[in-house]
């Protein structure tokens, strides 16, 4: 039986962290996240280690190469492999990026889907195909982007249309909203407030690189800055407390340092859970 419920604070699990964690899984982390394609081709000791982890801890998955908006046909065999991975480890939740990463080959980056009605219809049909195969809702993340070629819609309207018409769930990435708001000159809180509360399955928060005052690069390689913490707190005020995961993809510090940011997320969650309880009983 798959566990469909998860809550609290999560942390992205990287293979280089396994040796440090496998015999002493931190109780401070409520759920973990892995990219299926980083594990699907592996067997042997790696498979055994991951199974030990998934047998004892709550897991979600965040894919890297589905390429939901890509120009090439969906890789159906890959989607079936993801389904098998999810079933093997009894993981219910599979998230991906509202972007694409392949054309005539892998692009090794997340490219922006053109914001227009044709792209909405195209992505929606592909989402429905994926959902039929994996037998779960697909969870799509709002992504950072650095150009919007031939856009006829706003990022906000495009994101809302895909979520609504495909009936999928949302992974709300708070840092991506902050980065995009600086790079493209929009109000981060207005964008945040416009997202559909009922579709938010969980959230991401991460650090980024300051290329310039008006150019932020989404790297997941640094500590979270205060304006992003503030935006996460605002997200809880608007949408209620939702499960939130800390992403750190490189410059990965020792687990004790990562747990400091995990604890900060928890403090914000507890603060806003208490405030809701007070309001409900007033």
pLDDT tens string for the chain (282 positions)?
A: 345 678 999 999 988 888 788 888 999 999 999 999 888 876 667 778 888 899 989 999 999 889 898 888 999 999 999 999 999 999 999 999 998 674 454 444 567 788 999 999 999 999 999 999 999 999 999 998 888 778 899 999 999 999 999 999 999 999 999 999 999 999 999 999 999 999 999 999 998 877 777 776 777 778 999 999 999 999 999 999 999 999 998 888 889 999 999 999 999 999 999 766 565 645
20 within a domain of the structure (yes/no): yes
227 within a domain of the structure (yes/no): yes
In total, how many domains does the chain have? 1
3 within a domain of the structure (yes/no): no
100 within a domain of the structure (yes/no): yes
2 within a domain of the structure (yes/no): no
Both ends of the chain: CA-CA distance in Å? Answer: 39
pLDDT for the residue 110: 66
Residue-range definition of the domain harbouring residue 231: 9-281
pLDDT tens figures, 129-147: 999 999 999 999 999 888 8
pLDDT tens figures, 21-32: 888 899 999 999
179 within a domain of the structure (yes/no): yes
CA dist., res. 180 & res. 188, Å (int): 8
CATH number of the domain to which 262 belongs: 3.20.20.150
DSSP-derived secondary structure for 180-248: HHHHHT--HHHHHHHS-GGGEEEEEE---EEEETTEEE--S-SPPPHHHHHHHHHHHHHH----EEE--
| Residue closest to 17 by CA, chosen among 9, 26, 8 | 26
pLDDT for the residue 247: 95
206 within a domain of the structure (yes/no): yes
For residue 32, give every residue at least 6 positions away whose Cβ sits within 8 Å of its Cβ, in sequence order, or none: 10, 11, 12, 13, 53, 57, 58, 59, 60
| Residue closest to 19 by CA, chosen among 43, 52, 42 | 52
pLDDT for the residue 280: 61
């Amino acid at each position: 039986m798959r566990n469909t419920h998860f809550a609290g604070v999560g942390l992205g699990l990287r293979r280089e962290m396994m040796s440090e964690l496998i015999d002493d899984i931190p109780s401070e982390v409520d759920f973990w996240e892995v990219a299926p394609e980083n594990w699907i081709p592996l067997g042997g000791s790696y498979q055994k280690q991951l199974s030990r982890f998934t047998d004892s801890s709550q897991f979600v998955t965040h894919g890297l190469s589905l390429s939901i908006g890509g120009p090439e046909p969906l890789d159906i065999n890959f989607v079936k492999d993801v389904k098998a991975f999810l079933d093997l480890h009894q993981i219910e939740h599979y998230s991906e990026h509202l972007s694409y990463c392949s054309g005539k080959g892998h692009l090794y980056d997340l490219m922006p889907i053109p914001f227009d009605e044709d792209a909405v219809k195209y992505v929606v049909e592909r989402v429905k195909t994926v959902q039929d195969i994996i037998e779960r809702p697909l969870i799509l993340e709002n992504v950072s982007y650095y150009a919007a070629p031939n856009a006829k819609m706003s990022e906000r309207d495009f994101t809302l249309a895909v979520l609504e018409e495909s009936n999928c769930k949302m992974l709300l990435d708070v840092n991506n909203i902050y980065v995009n708001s600086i790079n493209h000159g929009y109000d981060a809180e207005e964008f945040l407030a416009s997202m559909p509360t009922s579709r938010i399955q969980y959230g991401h928060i991460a650090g980024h690189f300051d290329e310039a005052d008006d150019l932020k690069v989404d790297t997941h390689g640094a500590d979270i800055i205060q304006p992003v913490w503030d935006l996460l707190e605002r997200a809880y005020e608007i949408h209620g407390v939702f499960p939130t995961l800390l992403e750190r993809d490189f410059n990965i510090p020792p687990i004790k340092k990562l747990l400091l940011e995990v604890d900060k997320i928890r403090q914000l969650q507890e603060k806003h859970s208490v405030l809701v309880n007070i309001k409900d009983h007033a």
